[in-house]
Amino acid sequence: MVLILFADGFEEVEALTPCDYLRRAGADVLMVSMNASRTVTGAHDIAILCDVTADDILPELSPEKLEMLLLPGGKAGVDNLDSDSRTDRFLSEAKKAGAFVCAICAGPSLLGKKGWLRGKKAVCYPGFESYLLDAEVLDEPVVCDGKIITAKAAGAAQEFSFSLIEALRGREAALQVKNAVYFEK
């Protein structure tokens, strides 16, 4: 199972592109609202109806089923995730599960502040590098380092999504989705 955490102010493209593409690849993806309701509003005033709320899923979250945790960017969204103690619980469950932990844009700054990027290669939205404490910060669209996958910004959302698919389902699955959406680069 893949969990994508949605907090008010999230960057829509960075959350929905991975959700869409991972589902196309056959992954079991749940959009998790960090609000009391299932509705979350993005940075560009697009309201999204999530599959579940954090309070619905946390009591029954099984680390054995958790394959990947994704933190979209959007400064306000990341600030909201950072100030919500349930984010730490999701990260803890991902660590127990040995799951991939993925973040894009401002999202890696949250991982950096929490010590998840020490000794890792990572990338983030330009200007957030100081939050990637003890990480080797690269200038790439997407960086994979073990179970941590980071991406620069909304412009890298497709490449990020393909990297997530490859990590979970293999190169062939990523190629199939690339071909299905006519990704040309």
156-182 mean pLDDT? 97
Nearest to 108 by CA among 94, 126, 92, 96: 126
pLDDT attached to residue 62: 86
Cα 172–Cα 175–Cα 179 angle in degrees, nearest 5: 140
Separation CA 164–CA 166 (nearest Å): 5
96-107 mean pLDDT? 97
Ordered by where they begin, the domains of the chain are 2-180 (3.40.50.880)
185 pLDDT exceeds 80? no
129 pLDDT exceeds 90? yes
Q: Identify the DSSP state of 19.
A: H
Separation CA 48–CA 26 (nearest Å): 21
Q: Is the pTM of this model over 0.95?
A: yes
Task: Decide if 40 contacts 67 (C-beta within 8 A).
Answer: no
What would the DSSP string read from start to end of 168-181?
Answer: HH-HHHHHHHHHHT
List 40's β-bridge partners, or say none: 48
Band of residue 184 on the pLDDT scale cut at 50, 70, 90: confident
Q: Give the whole-number percent of the chain exceeding pLDDT 90.
A: 97
At 47-81, the pLDDT tens digits run: 999 999 999 999 989 888 999 999 999 999 999 99
129-135 mean pLDDT? 96
Terminal-residue alpha carbon distance, the chain: 29
Dihedral angle sign, alpha carbons of residues 122, 2, 172, 170: positive
pLDDT attached to residue 157: 98
